[in-house]
Amino acid sequence: MAEAMTGAMTGAVTGAAPKTGGLSSTASPAAARLRARLLRLAVHLPALLFLLAVLSPPLNHDVAAVLNFSERWFAGERLYVDLIDVNPPLIFSLNLVPAAIAAWTPLDGVQALQLCLLALAGLSLWLCLRLREGRAEGTVEAAVLTGLLPLAMLVIGYDFGQREVLMGTAALPYALLAARRMEGRRTARGLWLGTTLLAALGFALKPHFLAVPLLVEALVLLRRGPRRALRDPAPWAMAAVWLAYLAAIPLIFPAYLGYVVPLVWQYYLDLGGQSAWAVLFTPNLAVAAALLLVLLPLAFRATGGPLARVLAAAALGAFLSAWVQHKGWTYHVAPVLMLGGVLAGLLAARAADSVLPLATARRAAPGLALLATAGLALFALRGGEAPFREIGFEDSKAGRLTAWLKHEAYGERLLIISPDIYPVYPALNYAHVQSTLRTMNMWLLQGVYRTCPDSGERYRQPWEMSRAEFFVYRTVAEDFAKAPPAAVLIDRNPGIPWCGREFDFAEYFSRHPLFAATWRHYHQEGEIEGYRLYVRDN
């Protein structure tokens, strides 16, 4: 299959069947053909290995948390009313698709989401294949792109499914389309429209992502000139999608702008953030910056070509998007690795095509493509989390919590009081536990207790609480008393600064009469990894 795909893709690009070129005096034609086939197969081995990694547990914790909220929304809870989260509605809306598949088929939520993510990657790869048709690609360039494009969509490993990865997946065919526009090539209406709409949705997932199309469209404008660029329908189609999305938010989700966004500005943005200068020197962002410092000058040389320049602009936009988030986490720089990895291979391949005779390039292309895919895979492994998380999942904190919840609370309703996303998610997803908390974790309490109360007490009294704190205090107690869950999971680590003594979640909420009256009917069943499980008395 891999050989057929390689041959078909390369043939579609070059307009001819793949050739093995000349043979050495000591090699038989059959041996040379076998060697070429094996190399073409081997080119896809890194992508296959990362495919196995992304399909193996654990699912990324943030991805699992968003999926859980979408499943609850699909089941009838109201987004931004019963379910409070900082993320804009698009990602939850997209996750309704796997939520529906899980509700209507034997697949569970995780399996349905993985199916959807692979379908997205397949769609993006098919668009890339179609957009490469008719491009003037060198022999090595064609082979390298054939190997790198599918790998780039999977090489992120554990962060597969994060919004940054979805954006990077949508940005790859968009980059090829932008290069065609710069070259003045005609593209079928359905092809450019589908690519543009996919890209528009990807860039709409976070406001920061708009840096990518902004830089790419500026590049197209400089190349084509204002008159031709402004007549191009592609950027206007993207803008129409974004405007429709912005208009829909206050109409469909009024509570998001009226209630959630103020909470985000007041309590969330500073959690775990660093200064712009400090975050630039975190390991992930520093490596991404170093990669771009090498690639950008090479991409804008005369021999770089339109696609290299577009990929460079997109990677720079992705880097700026990661930088302004002030955290420097692995998934923030994921699209830089995806776009930059393809760019690095493209530049090396174009250099090889420029110096190698055609016959030599044909013989060397499969081997050079293998070097490119292996190089990107090794670069991702050097500081990545896959496949190491997958290999050690059962013995990890998340793996042990998953096994424990499956044994103690499989399929039950559970109140989870913890500041953590990981390892609570994806343990909940794998144990089919139904969370009763209105937020994913205790981020609101973390926000309001960033500093100690002015009174000097460990906890604020109800009349001293802000609106946000009283919301958490009241809703947790009222929901707990109204429909007591089968169990309660409480984290010993509150994620809140020490103020005379440790913040204790059970003690904090037990001050509410409704919580205290219901809490008396629970007893501790056990503890693992700092999480205490309390089970309701029969």
Q: Tell me 462's DSSP state.
A: G
Res 213: pLDDT: 98
**Residue 65: pLDDT band by 50, 70, 90 thresholds?**
very high
Average pLDDT over every residue of 69-91? 97
Residues 6+ apart with CB under 8 A from 318: 164, 167, 168, 171, 209, 211, 212, 333, 335, 336, 339
Q: Point out the least confidently predicted range of 15-19, 289-293, 443-447.
A: 15-19
Q: What is the pLDDT of residue 166?
A: 99
| Cα 399 from Cα 10, distance rounded (Å) | 42
How many Å apart are CA 130 and CA 79, to the nearest integer?
A: 38
Of 193, 191, 251, 180, nearest in space to 220 by CA = 180
Q: Is the pLDDT of residue 30 over 90?
A: no
Query: ∠391-397-400 over CA atoms, to 5°?
Result: 85
Which helix (H) or strand (E) segment holds residue 355: the answer is: helix 334-355
- Ramachandran bin of 134, using left for φ above 0, alpha for ψ from -120 to 50, beta for the remaining angles: left
The pLDDT assigned to 21 comes to: 43
The DSSP secondary-structure symbol of 159 reads G
If phi > 0 it is left, if psi is from -120 to 50 it is alpha, else beta; for residue 432 that is left
What value does the mean pLDDT take over residues 417-424?
Answer: 96
Q: Which residues contact 155 (CB under 8 A, 6 or more apart)?
A: 46, 47, 50, 337, 338, 341, 376, 377, 380
Looking at every residue in the chain, the average pLDDT score rounds to: 92
Cβ-contact 531, 418 below 8 angstroms: yes
pLDDT in tens, 486-515: 999 999 999 999 999 999 999 999 999 999
434 forms bridges with which residues in the sheet?
A: 413
Q: Under the phi-then-psi rule, with left for phi > 0, alpha for psi from -120 to 50, and beta for the rest, what region is 410?
A: beta
Please give the structure tokens belonging to residue 338: 């995806």
- In which band, very low, low, confident or very high, does the pLDDT at 383 lie, cut at 50, 70 and 90? low
152: pLDDT strictly greater than 90: yes
| Cα 496 to Cα 347, 375, 442, distances in angstroms | 48, 42, 10
Largest alpha-carbon pair distance within the chain?
90
Q: How far apart are CA 146 and CA 142, in angstroms?
A: 6
313-349 tens-digit pLDDT:
999 999 999 999 988 899 999 999 999 999 999 999 9
The residue with greater pLDDT, 276 or 342, is 342
Q: Domain spans of the chain?
A: 43-390, 396-536
Q: Phi and psi (nearest 5°) for 176?
A: -65, -40
Q: What distance in Å separates the CA atoms of residue 295 and residue 315, rounded to the nearest whole number?
A: 10
Cα gap 83→81, rounded to integer Å: 6
Residue 180 CB partners (closer than 8 Å, separation 6+): 131, 135, 187
pLDDT at 27: 55
The answer to whether residue 377 scores a pLDDT higher than 50 is yes
> 526 is written with which tokens?
């056990």
Cis peptide before 250 (omega within 30 of 0): no
pLDDT score recorded for residue 275: 81
Question: Which pLDDT does position 14 carry in this prediction?
Answer: 41
Structure tokens at 233: 């329908």
Q: Taking CA 491 as the corner, what is the angle to CA 415 and CA 265, rounded to the nearest 5 degrees?
A: 80
Of 377, 322, 361, the residue nearest 151 (C-alpha) = 377
Strands of the 413-417 sheet, one edge to the other: 434-435, 413-417, 487-491, 531-536, 522-528
When pLDDT is averaged across residues 459-474 and rounded to a whole number, the result is 95
Residue 264: per-residue pLDDT: 82
Residue 395 CB coordination number (10 Å): 8
Residue 91, Cα to own-chain centre: how many angstroms?
11
Mean pLDDT lowest among 94-108, 256-270, 300-314: 256-270
What confidence tens digit (pLDDT) does each residue in 344-366 have? 999 999 999 999 999 999 999 99
All residues at 6 or more sequence positions from 216 whose CB lies less than 8 Å from its CB, including other chains = 174, 175, 178, 310, 313, 314, 317
